[in-house]
Every structure is written in C-alpha cells, then in structure tokens.
C-alpha cells in the first residue's frame, strides 16, 4: 500500500550551482548531502513539509543519472513513493506484469531500502519505491 509521496528527484549536472535557485529563490534549506557510491550519485535533500526535493548529480560518466542527463538533460528524474512493505509491493507489481528495474530492494539514500519501477510501465515516469 502506498503511504505517501516521499520525494521528487531532479537530475542535475552540477549540484552546487543547481542548489542556488532552490535555496536562494525558493528559500529552501539543504538538510543533508550524501554520496551513494552504489548508485554513483551525490544527493542534496531539500525538505518541504513531510516530503522533499532531491537534487541528484552523477559522480561518474557511465552512471544511470549521467546517461539520463546526456539523453534528456536536466530536470525531473523520478518520483518516489513510500510503501508499507517494499518486498510485497514488488512481488505484487511483478505478478501484475509491471516491468521492474529492481526485483529486489537495495540500499538507497538515508539508509533506506529502495527499488525502481521501469518508466515504460508508468507512462514514461521513473518510479522509485521506498519503505518507511
């Protein structure tokens, strides 16, 4: 079951310069920055109420985010939904014929377990699932 919108992630080429409009123009505050080596990204977290915007910068030229930027440019990368049971959600989606990028949860930002649903199954939008 979906609990809430966890975050919206934006792919950016340069994290520091991308932060300026969010912090200076919109007045948001960075709560945390971290590098996730397994995904080859650096992330800045900008909370808004009980959700947040994530700015995601690739740390290698061959990462998934780097390939996304090369193909589509900066902008919306994915939407993350918090679910009550990630493993059960993945099993149910697979049984329904939904195409998954990750059939098993793996480590994501902030120590959370995550998995991605292929955008071809979600009308072109990459969906990340996380367990609260």
Please report, in tens digits, the pLDDT of each residue of the chain (132 residues total). 999 999 999 999 999 999 999 999 999 999 999 999 989 999 999 999 999 999 999 999 999 999 999 999 999 999 999 999 999 999 999 999 999 999 999 999 999 999 999 999 999 999 999 997
pTM of this prediction? Answer: 0.93
Placement of tokens 């009550």 in the chain: 84
Q: Which domains does the chain have, with CATH numbers?
A: 2-131 (3.10.180.10)
Integer Cα distance of 30 and 58 in angstroms:
18
Give the angle subtended at the CA of 122 by the CAs of 124 and 129, to the nearest 5°: 115
Per-residue confidence (pLDDT) for residue 132, from 0 to 100 = 76
Per-residue confidence (pLDDT) for residue 16, from 0 to 100 = 96
């Amino acid at each position: 079951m979906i609990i809430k919108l966890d975050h919206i992630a934006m792919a950016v080429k340069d994290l520091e310069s991308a932060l300026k409009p969010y912090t200076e123009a919109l007045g948001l505050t960075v709560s945390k920055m971290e590098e996730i080596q397994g995904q080859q990204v650096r992330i800045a977290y900008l909370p808004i109420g009980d959700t947040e915007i994530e700015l995601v910068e690739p740390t290698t030229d061959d990462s998934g985010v780097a390939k996304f930027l090369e193909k589509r440019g900066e902008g919306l990368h994915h939407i993350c939904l918090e679910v009550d049971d990630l493993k059960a959600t993945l099993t149910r989606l697979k049984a329904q014929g939904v195409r998954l990028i990750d059939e098993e949860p793996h480590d994501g930002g902030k120590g959370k377990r995550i998995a991605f649903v292929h955008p071809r199954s979600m009308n072109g939008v990459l969906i990340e699932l996380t367990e609260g």
